[in-house]
Structure 1
Amino acid sequence: MFIKSRFLALATSYNKGVANCFNKASVGLRWSSTQDNSTSSLPNTEQTAPKSAEEATAQSTKPDAPTKYYKIKLARSLIGLPPKTRKNAASLGLKKRGQIVFRPVTTTIAGSIFRIKELVELEITDNTYLESRSPAPGYTIVKRFQ
């Protein structure tokens, strides 16, 4: 009985301290500790949330940095491979052998490519080249029907 009540007392005091820290952190996304800031071993970092969607977009995109893309080509067939491998290829948009897809360079995409590295050919490009890869339609419009 004594051990249970002591445990509950410790858990309650700990939870109050954690809740206080989270309440302070949720207002303005600020790190807070129970110690004084001058004696704290962790830095007091302040990050304020963007006030509008335009500010969030401006912070997340950097106009001076060119966007890079992975050019992923499925070189080997998915026949006979485990379902997990097939789903991973499908998540990248690869269905048929020889199919080419372009994906932005991110850690998530890199991890997916790493799981099927034996099946794909990979290049890093500056743009997607989709316009130059699409064939001509094969017809011309002479006159519109009215």
Structure 2
Amino acid sequence: MPKFGKTSTARLQSCHPDLQAIFTVVIQSLDCSIFCGHRNKADQQQAFNASLSQVQFPNSKHNSMPSMATDAGPYFTELKNTDWEDIKAFATFAGYVKRVSHELLAQGVITHHIRWGGDWDGDGRTSDQTFHDLPHFELIKVN
């Protein structure tokens, strides 16, 4: 069974309990890595400067403590890494994360919906996005 390494565990611990609950379930079935949880001002500016974020500090959901966003993706044992070019793997991973989050919300385990950075408007289409942030998952309020 997959499990998080020390770095992913530490990053996930900086996140909101709902994100921790979601990814604790995800890792039981899919091997994955947590690339980022909370970002301080310097980290957010670096992400912005590298065009990995469209917002500056303190406007990212990564900037709150606990973080309302995390960057995560599939981990491939044979590569001992993530394949950043495998867009379909990220989409498949995101579908699983969203499914887990819907189930946990229905069970009352978490209190937020999740939004994926590959489908910001949640319509199931990725081709209508102007900014793709495939590892990004953020919590949004339940209406």
Same fold by TM (over 0.5)?
Answer: no
Q: TM-score, normalised on structure 1?
A: 0.21
Higher relative contact order (CA 8 A, sep 6+): 2
